[in-house]
């Protein structure tokens, strides 16, 4: 059987994408990264993908959101992914997109707690003793898809948003790769 085709979606530095790229390169993750889509022209993840010889596609947000949604959908369709992996992609995908593709995402909190873009800050502000990371299916809501895996991270009294987020990312990268391998092993190809 051929390797699963995955497409990465990313917006930022790309540390999660890099962990996935490294796992594919080492053979830990049995997949082929067939492309990386990014919405930010200056994102470091573009350099990481280029260095790894992964084709990149820059699709910046447009004034007319429906044009952007269509461009993302068309690019994903052309890449024929078995699985789309959101690795720090800070955009909501259209309902048409999530209805037609299998998309997985990681989130830096124990969903359903602290959904949205400020999960780490929100966890600190709540006074919670712990938070963590969640790997979940993407649906048309914001961080509302079915939970696949979670792991907790203790919040210490000295944590800042930056230190806590970095500790979460360490756990998130490991959990994401392990979860992806499990998903790809059980994946029924189209």
Q: How many CB atoms lie within 10 A of CB 144?
A: 14
Q: Residue written as tokens 């970095």?
A: 166
Whole-angstrom Cα Rg for the chain: 16
Q: Residue 74: CB partners within 8 Å, gap ≥ 6?
A: none
Q: How many Cα atoms occupy the beta-carbon half-sphere of 187 within 13 Å?
A: 25
Active site residue 107: yes
At how many degrees (to 10) do helices 44-51 and 15-26 cross?
10
Q: Report CA-CA distances (Å) from 66 to 9, 97, 111, 116.
A: 18, 12, 29, 22
Active-site residue, selected from the candidate residues 107, 118, 136, 165: 107
Q: How far apart are CA 135 and CA 121, in angstroms?
A: 19
The answer to whether 102 and 189 have CB atoms below 8 angstroms apart is: no
12 phi and psi angles, rounded to 5 deg: -125, -130
Q: Residue 178: CB partners within 8 Å, gap ≥ 6?
A: 149
Q: Which residues are catalytic?
A: 107
């Amino acid at each position: 059987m051929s390797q699963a085709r995955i497409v990465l979606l990313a917006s930022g530095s790309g540390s999660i994408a890099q962990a996935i790229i490294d796992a594919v390169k080492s053979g830990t993750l049995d997949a082929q990264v067939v492309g990386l889509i990014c919405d930010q022209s200056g994102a470091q993840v573009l350099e990481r993908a280029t260095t790894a010889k992964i084709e990149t596609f820059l699709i910046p947000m447009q004034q007319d959101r429906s044009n952007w949604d269509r461009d993302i959908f068309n690019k994903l369709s052309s890449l024929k992914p078995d699985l789309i992996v959101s690795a720090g992609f800070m955009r909501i995908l259209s309902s048409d997109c999530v209805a037609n593709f299998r998309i997985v995402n990681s989130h830096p909190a124990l969903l359903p707690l602290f959904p949205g873009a400020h999960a780490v800050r929100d966890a600190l502000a709540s006074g919670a003793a712990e938070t963590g990371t969640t790997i979940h299916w993407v649906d048309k809501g914001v961080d509302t898809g079915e939970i696949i895996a979670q792991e907790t991270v203790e919040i210490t009294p000295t944590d800042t948003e930056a230190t806590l987020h970095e500790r979460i990312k360490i756990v998130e990268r490991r959990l994401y790769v392990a979860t992806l391998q499990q998903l790809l092993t059980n994946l029924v190809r189209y």
